[in-house]
């Protein structure tokens, strides 16, 4: 009888540790997905801009919108999100956009600073007259 209690004393902490690791992995993956979805949201807004001047004018608004989206969707899973948006011409002369979102992921272990950074890219849409 005493051996069962002793075995459980060794097995129970290992099972609890496994549960905490699985929950932490889920929290990290959710925070990462929130950052990626926020970056995609920014790309979908910025890829409608057809010139560098328009992109410069909307740059701050897009970054604020991305951070707001990350805060609204992520709530407590993505802490202190930041966004960086960029409109540029690639080597072929095609206009492209890039939005990078980073932030801290909530951690179950005090003092453990988990960070994530996700980037989304897209080509600027070109609208042409129908012939």
Give domain status of residue 88, yes or no. Answer: yes
Domain of residue 75, residue span = 2-123
What span, in angstroms and rounded, lies between the C-alpha atoms of 39 and 82? Answer: 10
Q: Is residue 67 part of a domain?
A: yes
C-alpha 12 chain-centroid distance: 34
pLDDT band at residue 2 under the 50/70/90 scheme: low
Phi, psi of 50 (to 5 degrees): -95, -10
Residue 1 has pLDDT above 60, yes or no: no
pLDDT for residue 37 is more than 90: yes
For the chain, the average pLDDT equals 89
Torsion angle of alpha carbons 44, 50, 53, 58, nearest 10°? -20
Matching residue, tokens 């980073």: 102
Segment 33-61 mean pLDDT: 91
**Domain count across the chain:** 1
- 34, 74 Cβ separation under 8 angstroms: yes
């Amino acid at each position: 009888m005493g051996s069962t209690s002793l075995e459980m004393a060794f097995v129970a902490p290992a099972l609890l540790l496994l549960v905490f690791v699985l929950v932490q992995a889920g929290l990290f993956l959710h925070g990462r997905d929130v950052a990626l979805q926020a970056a995609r949201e920014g790309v979908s807004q910025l890829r409608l801009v057809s010139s560098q001047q328009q992109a410069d004018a909307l740059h701050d608004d897009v970054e604020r919108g991305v951070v707001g989206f990350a805060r609204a969707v992520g709530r407590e899973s993505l802490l202190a999100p930041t966004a960086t948006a960029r409109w540029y011409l690639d080597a072929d002369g095609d206009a492209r956009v890039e939005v990078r979102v980073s932030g801290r992921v909530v951690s179950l272990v005090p003092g453990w600073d988990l960070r994530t950074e996700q980037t989304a890219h897209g080509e600027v849409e070109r609208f042409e007259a129908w012939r």
